[in-house]
């Protein structure tokens, strides 16, 4: 092969290495050849798109539901022959570097995301065409972050205001002649990636069984295509609290930490959305576990400084109970 190497790279604009609407995306295409070659064209493209796809069995037939949306699709011609197909452009032997830049549209677009049946991707593609039968391609994806501070709110101020409000729910369950009351309180509804908060669970166990609180972070992915909807859920186990013996009461406090790599909540894509819930269950032998779910919004966290000393402890406001 005459062309030994073809790559496309981008320059970082911040410490996250991410891009947002209105940013300039610049980089270079590198071509390494063993000798001089004639080419028809060398182009680089920048694309942003969302795509969903899944299969369903309807009777004896398998039906594919899919949809896609383009946010932008730009092309920058680096080299192109003067007459189509004559291969009049020349690339010298050795290493050749070609710069490029694009301005990302300053419009509301969702962040990069990869879910169970859908993806939101932003990419750079370079294509070197020597002839109809000799085409080489390369691709790289770049991380993209929406400019919207609240990509889940759908312009609802009530949701934004509720992010800092305390959440509370009660569940009463009867087992035989006994009654179990569970009161769950969380500090707030909105948490940033990597942030932690306290959860208080008051259990009044009037039954003859020992019960144990268990904590989960519930993820819900929703995909839409051709008026059809597909939902994927995933429960992330966060640990257990102290057991509450029969005929006793106890308040259990748990610190929930949001994994820093967990994708933030978003609604600003017409084909998919991502939601979370905080779930607390009471595990007991031979009975169905009662549960309480509280709304939880995961916000984009702040980038970590290059040098940061680890915190020795996490402090949070004392909860009732």
CATH of the domain at 69: 2.60.40.640
pLDDT range class, residue 288, cuts 50, 70, 90: confident
Higher-scoring residue by pLDDT: 160, 214: 214
Q: Is residue 50 domain-resident?
A: yes
Residue 31 to residue 1: CA distance in whole angstroms:
13
Tens digits of residue pLDDT in 179-191: 899 999 999 988 9
**Partner residues linked to 19 by β-bridges:** 144
> How large a percentage of the chain has pLDDT more than 70?
87
Residue after which a domain boundary falls, among 83, 113, 141: 141
Q: Is residue 38 domain-resident?
A: yes
Q: Is residue 317 domain-resident?
A: no
List Cβ neighbours of 59 (8 Å cut-off, separation of 6 or more): none
Helical residues (DSSP H) of 100-195, grouped into ranges: 157-162
Higher-scoring residue by pLDDT: 311, 91: 91
Instruction: Tell me: pLDDT of 303 over 80.
Output: no
pLDDT range class, residue 314, cuts 50, 70, 90: very low
Residue 134: which domain range? Answer: 3-141
Mean pLDDT computed over 258-274: 92
Residues 52 and 126 in one domain: yes
Residue 63 to residue 59: CA distance in whole angstroms:
10
Q: Strand 41-58 and strand 94-103: pairing? A: unpaired
Going along the chain, which residue ranges are E strands? 3-10, 24-33, 37-39, 41-58, 61-80, 89-91, 94-103, 113-114, 118-131, 134-141, 167-175, 178-186, 190-192, 196-205, 212-225, 228-240, 248-257, 272-283, 291-299
Residue 280 to residue 295: CA distance in whole angstroms:
12
Determine the Cα angle at 49 with ends 48 and 54, to 5°: 155
Residues 169 and 94 in one domain: no
DSSP state for residue 286 in the 8-state scheme: T
Residues 99 and 15 in one domain: yes
Q: Is residue 150 domain-resident?
A: no
Tens digits of residue pLDDT in 125-176: 999 998 888 999 999 999 999 987 667 655 455 456 668 888 899 988 877 6
Decide: 184 and 199 in contact? Cβ < 8 Å. yes
Higher-scoring residue by pLDDT: 99, 89: 99
**Residue 313: what pLDDT?**
33
Residues 121 and 161 in one domain: no
Structural domain count of the chain:
2
Residues 168 and 135 in one domain: no
Residue 55 to residue 65: CA distance in whole angstroms:
6
Q: Is residue 90 domain-resident?
A: yes
Residues 117 and 180 in one domain: no
Q: Is residue 147 domain-resident?
A: no
Instruction: Note the pTM of the prediction, 2 decimals.
Output: 0.84
Intra-chain end-to-end CA distance of the chain, in Å: 72
Residues 218 and 261 in one domain: yes
**Which is nearest to 148 in space by CA: 254, 299, 311, 316?**
299
**Residue 321: what pLDDT?**
42
Q: Is residue 64 domain-resident?
A: yes
**Residue 177: what pLDDT?**
66
Per this entry, what is the length of the chain? 321
Residues 231 and 182 in one domain: yes
Mean pLDDT computed over 201-221: 93
Mean pLDDT computed over 179-206: 92
pLDDT range class, residue 236, cuts 50, 70, 90: very high
């Amino acid at each position: 092969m005459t062309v030994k190497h073809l790559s496309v790279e981008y320059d970082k604009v911040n410490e996250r290495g991410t891009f947002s609407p209105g940013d300039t995306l610049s980089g270079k295409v590198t071509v390494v050849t063993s000798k001089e070659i004639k080419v028809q064209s060398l182009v680089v493209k920048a694309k942003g798109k969302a795509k969903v796809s899944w299969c369903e069995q309807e009777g004896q037939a398998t039906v594919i539901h899919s949809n896609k949306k383009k946010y932008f699709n730009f092309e920058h011609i680096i080299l192109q022959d003067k007459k189509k197909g004559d291969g009049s452009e020349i690339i010298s032997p050795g290493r050749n570097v070609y710069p490029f830049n694009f301005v990302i549209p300053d419009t509301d677009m969702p962040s990069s995301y990869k879910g169970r049946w859908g993806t939101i991707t932003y990419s750079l593609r370079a294509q070197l065409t020597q002839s109809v039968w000799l085409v080489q391609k390369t691709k790289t994806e770049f991380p993209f972050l929406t400019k919207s501070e609240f990509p889940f709110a759908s312009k609802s101020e009530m949701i934004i205001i509720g992010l800092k409000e305390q959440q509370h729910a009660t569940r009463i369950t009867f087992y035989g002649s006994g009654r179990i009351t569970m009161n769950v309180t969380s500090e707030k509804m909105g948490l940033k990636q990597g942030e932690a908060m306290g959860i208080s669970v008051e259990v009044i166990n009037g039954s003859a069984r020992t019960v144990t609180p268990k904590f989960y972070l519930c993820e819900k992915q929703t995909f839409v295509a051709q008026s059809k909807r597909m939902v994927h859920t995933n429960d992330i186990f966060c640990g257990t609290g102290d057991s509450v013996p029969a005929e006793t009461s106890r308040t259990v406090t748990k610190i929930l930490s949001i994994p820093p790599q967990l994708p933030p909540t978003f609604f600003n894509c017409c084909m998919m959305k991502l939601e979370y819930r905080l779930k607390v269950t009471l595990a007991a032998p031979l009975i169905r576990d009662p549960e309480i779910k509280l709304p939880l919004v995961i916000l984009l966290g702040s980038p970590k400084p290059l040098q940061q000393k680890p915190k020795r402890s996490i402090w949070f406001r004392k909860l009732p109970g």
